Amino acid sequence: MKPIVLLFAALTSALPLPAAVVINEIHANAEPNPVRAEFVELHNTGPTDISLGGWRFSEGIDFLFPPGTILPAGGYLAIAESLPGFREAFGRQSQAEVIAHWSFDETSGSTAADSTGRPNAAGKPKTAVATAGVTQDAEGRFGGSGIALDGAPGNYLTIPYLDELWSGSYTLAAWVRPADRGVNPILADHSNPQAFLFSVDTAAKMTHRGPAAMPATAAVWAGNGGTIVSNVWQHVAAVWDRDAQVGKIYLDGVLVFSTLVGKGPAELPLVQNARPWHIGRNQADTNTFKGGLDELWVVKGALPISSIRTLMNENRLVTTDIVDLADIVGGGDGSLPGSGARNGINPVTGAQVASYGSGDNIPTAPGAFQPVEHPMIDGVFVPDGTLVAAQTITTTGLSTIVRAGDNDPSPGFWYDGAGLLGDPTKVNSTSAHYLPRYLEDPFRHSILSGMTQKGITFDLDAIESSRNGRQVTGLTAVAADSRMQSGGSIAALVFLDGAEVYRQTNIAGGERIIDLPIPAQARFLTLVIANSDRNNASDHGFFADPFLHIDPLPASETGPPVMGPYAGSL
């Protein structure tokens, strides 16, 4: 688009405005505007980077650029009315960026540099400043130096608050070699009002507290998992996926804890404390870290397991884009927020239909596999656990025994739908587990739904071809039973090239988190909703937010970075 003059807002600076910065695009929506997806895009047409810190849109809309905002030479930057609205309107990716990274490579002194070089919103550099009892030139995990903390009260490192962590998805990760299995805080903002604590003791631990119950803050999610060993380097990571409302903890690249949070949007952000945070100290007590610490990463975005393992093994951040399998089933191309409709696929015939389907779909040939005329879907089938022989699950003839239920008729079709099912009045029930209040959330969610029994196989090669050969690296989803009726339960199974890689049975009114790496050589991905209790009239299973993770586009092909929100309206 040709650069345009500014008609709806004034961009001002305390310094003369470089002529190289132009407003490249204004996207305005007429009222009613429920999604709130308006934005203004800036473009630096000049040959040098320009600092936007202190610049402001001051008429029509109001937005102050924080210190450290840089518009690179030739670069673009969008300022959005609403970040969730922008994400819904123009697609959601799991693209991640580094908020801070301390490599602890210094060999002397009392400071540790943040490799990003970017300050926080207050303009303060994210340099970690050590007190006594911190050794800079200690043995590191990757052959260089790390730090060693002696565990004495008062000995830790201080950093400025990281405001980018407050409201969205994040990943925290570090290499640790604790001297003991006592309480060893890694990163924390945990004095009153408490916000979060990332730590290890006998296990890897994370607590994320929300603002809803201020000042007595409540845990949005908390968990622990794995076994920590003294005097051994281990990699720990905590992930908060704000969009999916899922918290996860990894130890040495293995998912050891996961939970789905049934809370409303206002309850989900971190408590926001504009005060110093600490590395190696829990501010709520006298506990400090004792042992070795190296390569502490704070990442904006929820990394899948494939990226966690790359961070662990290669000490580098690999981001991913998303392919939505529910959108593909709806006849779309797998993009977000989606190009398909709430269409269905008959598991008996393979026909794509413009409905959800109803009644019993009884296969005339038990175990038969039906191709689907969608380039990214290989086919569908009705799982039959009574078959002695394996049943076919791909057009190439790969077969396996799908034994998680029975061969009862299968009501309905596979279908794609917007928003998750469930009764919001029963969220946080003391007597049962229920779904999050997704329908109250401004984010768009996807559902790949179907009553048991059903199987569907996707062609990963075709999906990669549709993305210019970019590699599929992982699958994330939430498997659940939305009917939650007495006696009803389902099973969720995942296969790669006919080999079972995931199985959860007797899911009844709860949820199971799926986070699987996908090797480069894999061709077929099969998802199965099966019947755990021979009563499929009660079993309406689904995969929520069923996302493939793929290699990202080159930087030259991605959209501009986005900031916001701004006040006012275009």
Which of 487, 471, 490 is CA-nearest to residue 479? 490
CA pseudo-torsion sign 149, 151, 152, 156: positive
Report the pLDDT averaged over residues 284-299. 96
240 plus 108 within the same structural domain: yes
pLDDT of residue 416: 52
* 3 domain-assigned: no
* 264 domain-assigned: yes
For 394-407, write each residue's pLDDT tens digit.
999 999 988 765 55
26 plus 112 within the same structural domain: no
Residue 11's SS3 state is: strand
225 plus 334 within the same structural domain: no
Question: Structure tokens of 73?
Answer: 């030479």
Q: How confident is the model at residue 205 (pLDDT cuts 50, 70, 90)?
A: very high
- The CATH number of the domain where 223 resides is what? 2.60.120.200
At which of 302, 319, 336 does a domain end? 319
- C-alpha distances out from residue 70 to 21, 55, 426, 555, Å: 12, 11, 46, 17
Least confident of 86-100, 478-492, 505-519: 86-100
pLDDT of residue 190: 93
pLDDT of residue 425: 39
369 plus 407 within the same structural domain: yes
474 plus 564 within the same structural domain: no
Contacts of 464-469 with CB under 8 Å at 24 or more apart are 464/550, 466/333, 466/334, 466/375, 466/376, 467/321, 467/323, 467/550
- Residue recorded with tokens 């473009």: 43
Predicted confidence (pLDDT) at residue 81 exceeds the cutoff of 90 = no
Cis before 337 (ω within 30) = yes
User: Taking the model in full, what pTM does it have?
Assistant: 0.78
Q: Tell me the Ramachandran region of residue 516: left when phi exceeds 0, alpha when psi lies from -120 to 50, beta otherwise.
A: beta
pLDDT of residue 429: 39
The alpha carbons of the chain give a radius of gyration, in whole angstroms, of 25
Written as one letter, the residue type at 124 is K
- The CATH number of the domain where 560 resides is what? 2.60.40
Q: Are the C-beta atoms of 144 and 166 separated by less than 8 Å?
A: no
Report the pLDDT averaged over residues 242-266. 89
Q: Are the C-beta atoms of 157 and 280 separated by less than 8 Å?
A: yes
pLDDT of residue 487: 59
Using CA atoms, how far apart are residues 548 and 211, in angstroms rounded to an integer? 32
Query: Based on the number of CB atoms within 10 Å of its own CB, is 216 exposed (0-12), middle (13-18) or buried (19 or more)?
Result: exposed
* 484 domain-assigned: yes
Q: Tell me the Ramachandran region of residue 161: left when phi exceeds 0, alpha when psi lies from -120 to 50, beta otherwise.
A: beta
- Residue recorded with tokens 């008062």: 154
- Residue recorded with tokens 């969608």: 374
CA pseudo-torsion sign 42, 442, 477, 325: negative
Average pLDDT, the chain: 82
At which of 319, 347, 370 does a domain end? 319
Using CA atoms, how far apart are residues 273 and 259, in angstroms rounded to an integer? 25
pLDDT of residue 522: 97
78 plus 208 within the same structural domain: no
378 plus 487 within the same structural domain: yes
Distance of CA 426 to the CA centre of its chain: 25
What whole-number percentage of the chain has pLDDT above 70?
Answer: 78
- Please give the angle made by the CA atoms of 533, 537 and 543, to the nearest 5 degrees: 75
103 plus 56 within the same structural domain: no
* 186 domain-assigned: yes
At which of 267, 290, 319 does a domain end? 319
Full domain range(s) for residue 113: 97-319
What distance, in Å, lies between the first and last C-alpha atoms of the chain? 18
Using CA atoms, how far apart are residues 309 and 18, in angstroms rounded to an integer? 43
CA pseudo-torsion sign 155, 156, 158, 162: negative
Q: How confident is the model at residue 530 (pLDDT cuts 50, 70, 90)?
A: confident
Residue 503's SS3 state is: strand
327 plus 289 within the same structural domain: no
352 plus 310 within the same structural domain: no
Predicted confidence (pLDDT) at residue 474 exceeds the cutoff of 60 = yes
236 plus 281 within the same structural domain: yes
- Residue recorded with tokens 């720990």: 236
* 1 domain-assigned: no
Q: How confident is the model at residue 4 (pLDDT cuts 50, 70, 90)?
A: very low
Q: Are the C-beta atoms of 4 and 26 separated by less than 8 Å?
A: yes
Using CA atoms, how far apart are residues 226 and 167, in angstroms rounded to an integer? 27
DSSP string, 308-332: HHHHHHHS-----EEEEHHHHHTTS
Using CA atoms, how far apart are residues 353 and 534, in angstroms rounded to an integer? 27
Predicted confidence (pLDDT) at residue 420 exceeds the cutoff of 60 = no
341 plus 262 within the same structural domain: no
DSSP string, 182-195: S-EEEEEE-SSSP-
- The CATH number of the domain where 542 resides is what? 2.60.120.1060
Q: Are the C-beta atoms of 445 and 481 separated by less than 8 Å?
A: no
Which of 513, 558, 562, 565 is CA-nearest to residue 247? 513
Least confident of 68-77, 194-203, 224-233: 68-77
Number of domains in the chain: 3
